[in-house]
Structure formats: structure tokens, C-alpha cells
Amino acid sequence: MPPAISTSSETHPIPEINGARAKPKHQAVSQRNGGFTIISIIIPTLNEERSLPPLLDAIRQQEADCEVIVVDGGSRDRTLEIARRHGVRTLVSSPGRGTGICIGAQESRGEVLLFLHADSTFLPGALGRIREALSIDTEIIGGNFRLVFDGDTPFSRWLTSFYAWIRSIGFYYGDSGIFVRRSVCEALGGFRPIPLMEDLEFVCRLEWFGRTCCIMDPPLITSSRRFEGRRPGKSSSGGSGCTYYSGSAYLLNGWLKFTGRGAAVGDLGGTNQPARPFAQTWSEPRRPADKLFDRHEDRVPDLALDVLR
């Protein structure tokens, strides 16, 4: 059985960002006491009156100490009313998930920050696993949860397998519950209020900064709703399409081709997985940012939009 926490045998310098090289503070950060008292949970929202109540109820049942901040980007439904009724702190931001995350992080007070999407299913013991992972190994600077898509369909099962595969090469998205030590988040400059792919942009800098882990048990369950209607299609020649493309898969596919990291992403095979420890370990470092943000960081929004076209 592999060790419980993801580790990396080497570190890399931080890539230049807008012409300035970030200071490699991860060594000083990692030597601090791994203990902490509060986890700040930041939830950006937009018209989430249906999804938010079960998430807030699930957070309330967690045993670890936490503060919850809902940052609303202009909901026209009862999202803010529901958040206030649950007794959590509410903030209002301009539209955009990246903007909401930035405001929530700045206003939070926890030593660890956890960013959750409102349509997540947060299982019992999840906060405790974050505390356990970061306390066992003080070199771990953050990470995410294994992501499982709801709905017992071939497409949702494929999405779950796809996200497991991209995590193995160092990519993951905000819907998998990104968590990070505050000191590291501040050293990195936090999330950026860009209009698209703010989560992947942050993850690439995080993976460069130090070692992360993926909590396997419990997983984070997310909704498949945004992928509704995306199914296998017909090719122009009339044959059956052999590749599923979700929005995230399509974006990552474009990034891989643009940066020369790989070819198109296709069928990932079966979804049966062996029993896992609570956090995944890899024997080699996963550094997705070596060709991404040292050359292209200032063009993240433009490149993402190019891929979508």
C-alpha cells in the first residue's frame, strides 16, 4: 500500500509571473507547526438557492472548527437569504467566481482555506481529513478531494475517471474542493480575478510551489448538471463519435495541445478502482506549470477563450 500523503522528491523554482519571480517561500512555510485551529470555507455563489442549503447543513455537521463565508456574485434568487438564515457570513462581489474567491479569501481568518462550489456534496469527516493530511506532514501545502460526479450514468462515470486521470498529472479544478494553507496562498498572491479558469491557473502555481495531496476518502461529490446534454455525437462522416467532451475536458485538451504537453484526451477505459488510502501518493512530482505559466500566464483568459471557440 502506498504512503498516505502525496510527496515530491524535488522542488522547482517559481515561474516568472508578469515579469517578476515569486520568492520560493515554501521551505519556510513547511517548517512551521502543522497544527491549526480554524478552516475557512469560502463558497462563491450565483443563484444557488437549491444547492446551498444541503451544503451548509453538511458543513454544520462536520466536527472540525470552521468559518463559512458565502460570497455572492449577484444572485436574483434567495441565495443570500438562505445563507444568512443558516448563520454564515455573507459578502457580495461583482460577477465572476474568481472575484468572489479573492474577496472571500481576503476576508477570512482561518489558517487553512477551503474553496467549495455550492453544488458540492460534502461528506462527513471531510474537514477532519484536511486537518489530518496537513498535520501528518507539514511539507504538504494543500491539495484537493477525489471528485465523484453524481448520477449513475456512463457519462458521469466517465467524468469521474477523467478527473482522476488529470489529477494524476497534476491538474485539478475548483469543483474538487481546493484547500491550501493561508501562508502559502498569500505567498502565491491568491486566486486571480480572471474571467475563466481561475482555478486551474491557481492550481498550476500551487503545484509548482510545493507538495500537495489528494484526499481519496471521503471523496467530494459534485453535480453533473453543467454537463447535461453533452453526450457522444456523430462524426461528420456519419460514424459514431468515440470521445466524450465535457467543458473541462475540452479546455484541458486545448491546453495540452497548445503547450505541447500531450495529444488529445480520449477514452480512459474502465472506472473500477482498487481500494485507496485516505490520501493519494505519487512517487514522482506532478508539475503541470512548467510550460504553462512561465510563458503564457499573462494570456490565460485569451488562451482559454481561444480553446472554447
The enclosing domain of 82 has a CATH number of 3.90.550.10
Asked if residue 79 belongs to a domain, the reply is yes
Q: Cα(51)–Cα(163) distance, rounded to whole angstroms? A: 22
Tell me the CA end-to-end span of the chain in Å, nearest whole number: 44
pLDDT of residue 202: 97
Cβ neighbors of 243 (< 8 A, separation 6 or more) are: 232, 264, 265, 266, 267
Q: What sign results for the dihedral spanned by CA atoms 214, 115, 107, 202?
A: positive
Identity of residue 144: N
Q: Tell me which residue has cell 490565460.
A: 300
pLDDT of residue 2: 37
- pTM of the complete model beyond 0.75: no
Q: Cα(166)–Cα(159) distance, rounded to whole angstroms? A: 11
Asked if residue 6 belongs to a domain, the reply is no
pLDDT of residue 256: 52
**How many residues in total does the chain contain?**
309
Asked if residue 8 belongs to a domain, the reply is no
What is the count of structural domains for the chain? 1
Q: What is the widest separation between alpha-carbon atoms in the chain?
A: 61
For 207, the domain range is 27-294
pLDDT of residue 107: 97
Cβ neighbors of 40 (< 8 A, separation 6 or more) are: 66, 67, 69, 104, 105, 108, 109, 110, 112, 113, 114, 182
Asked if residue 22 belongs to a domain, the reply is no
Asked if residue 307 belongs to a domain, the reply is no
Q: What is the pLDDT along the chain (309 residues), one digit of tens a residue?
A: 433 333 333 333 333 333 333 333 433 333 344 567 899 999 999 999 999 999 999 999 998 899 999 999 999 999 999 999 999 999 999 999 999 999 999 999 999 999 999 999 999 999 999 999 999 999 999 999 999 999 888 889 999 999 999 999 999 999 999 999 999 999 999 999 998 999 999 999 999 999 999 999 999 999 887 776 665 343 333 433 333 334 445 455 555 544 444 433 333 333 333 344 667 644 444 555 443 433 334 443 443 333 333
Asked if residue 269 belongs to a domain, the reply is yes
pLDDT of residue 282: 46
Asked if residue 250 belongs to a domain, the reply is yes
Bridging pattern class, strands 20-21 and 16-17: antiparallel
Q: Cα(36)–Cα(192) distance, rounded to whole angstroms? A: 25
Q: Cα(303)–Cα(297) distance, rounded to whole angstroms? A: 9
* Residue 242 near residue 267 (C-beta atoms within 8 A): yes
Asked if residue 302 belongs to a domain, the reply is no
Using alpha carbons, select from 75, 12, 15 the residue that is nearest to residue 43: 75
